[in-house]
Amino acid sequence: MVDKDHITIRDEQGNEHEYEVEAVFEMGGQHYTMISSGQEMEIMRIEEHNGSQSLVNATEDEIEQLVAAYEIAINADENFPEQ
């Protein structure tokens, strides 16, 4: 079993929420992470400012593009012959 990284995110009200990092990936020059709270999955954009990173909500357009790219990758993997 692979141990996953965990992160804590503070919401607008100051409440802390624990998430598992499911994946980190790049598309179109932007970096994204897929995180899970156990109840829901979210895709966040990783932004860098002065050497520190922060997570911001991905736009609906970004999410649609990421899901489309993921589906293409899954279909390509299914059609790739095993060696």
Say what the pLDDT of residue 83 is: 59
Handedness of CA 62, 67, 71, 76 (dihedral sign): positive
Are residues 69 and 80 in contact, defined by beta-carbon separation less than 8 angstroms? no
Are residues 55 and 39 in contact, defined by beta-carbon separation less than 8 angstroms? no
pLDDT in tens, 29-76: 999 999 999 888 899 999 999 999 999 999 999 999 998 988 888 888
Residue 34 lies in domain: 6-79
What is the Cα gyration radius of the chain?
Answer: 15
Say what the pLDDT of residue 69 is: 87
Residue 1 maps to a domain: no
Residue 28 maps to a domain: yes
Its pTM surpasses 0.85: no
Residue 31 maps to a domain: yes
